[in-house]
Structure 1
């Protein structure tokens, strides 16, 4: 199925999405990679407030290239999500509802997705220039000293992604392999 959805995500939207669905996201999402996640974890451990409210929000694992003249952002392709796996369960337990990246997730992240009614989406790796066209505004909101790894608030229109792990824990990376192997055997 294909859906046009709005970020931040609500429970009803997440509940209807199934592994394998194509989505086009409009609204507000945030970017954060390894260094920003490490700082957020340190803030949590120190009892400090996070620089963004994760409740209901979406984090895109991405560090953009510099913007060309007249554009809000440069190439904006996804980063390998497993690098954030040690931080994701904590953020999901704090209310994060969506993550966008590429690649597999750990069992701990999948458990946290199911426990919190969240989703994991994949953006197409290697298509950063194309993905940047769906970003209409970009603003650094935290950790400016991290450069490309700073946390950014993005306004997106019809940002394309695929539901990989839905709120029930169905995982496209696993089901697609099983489906392919079954078709190949016949």
Structure 2
């Protein structure tokens, strides 16, 4: 049975999550991909504030397609998270509590998740049209010049995801590999 999660994330919610938990996320999620992460890093390097308060927030690594008539958004599937790994530890230090994407995170990011009591969720790749149905509103809030990579504020309801890396050091991908090795030796 999936756990229902309300955003923004707090310490109690994050500490309750374990690798492998299925969740349904509701609340505000911010979108950001490679170019937006680079721009945020440049902003921080200049001593300026980010375009939104990331404390307790979740960033979804997505570049949504344009909405068709009558839709809030087009397809909105996850992009490969490792492309944001160079920027993630700093954002976690500043209060980011969650990320949604697909694929593995490097060891530095996994350690930063533990150190900063955060969580990494995976959304199922290939289900972009279904995921889009959980998105109730979308607003570009920064870096509009980046097109699909602009930062957006999205309201989601029952967005499906799986906890991959938890604040306790759990790694669902590694657990799967370990189970496979035990059953195929």
> Does the pair score TM above 0.5?
yes
**Residue of structure 2 in register with 1:32 after alignment:** 32
1:100-126 superposed Cα distances (whole Å, 9 cap, x missing partner): 000000111011000000000000011
Cα distance in 2 for partners of 1:150, 1:136 equals 18
User: How many residues end up aligned between the 2 structures?
Assistant: 185
Gaps of 5+ in 1: none
Q: Does 1:107 find its partner at 2:136?
A: no
Q: Shift of residue 180 of structure 1?
A: 1.7
Gaps of 5+ in 2: none
DSSP 3-state at the match of 2:157: strand
Cα distance in 1 for partners of 2:67, 2:169 equals 36
Cα distance in 1 for partners of 2:177, 2:107 equals 18
DSSP 3-state at the match of 2:99: strand
Please report the TM-score for the alignment, with normalisation by the length of structure 1.
Answer: 0.98
Moved over 6 A (4+): none
Q: C-alpha root-mean-square deviation of aligned residues, in Å?
A: 0.8
Q: Shift of residue 7 of structure 1?
A: 1.2
Q: Shift of residue 18 of structure 1?
A: 0.3
Q: How do 1:1-186 residues align onto structure 2 when only pairs under 5 Å count?
A: 2-185=2-185
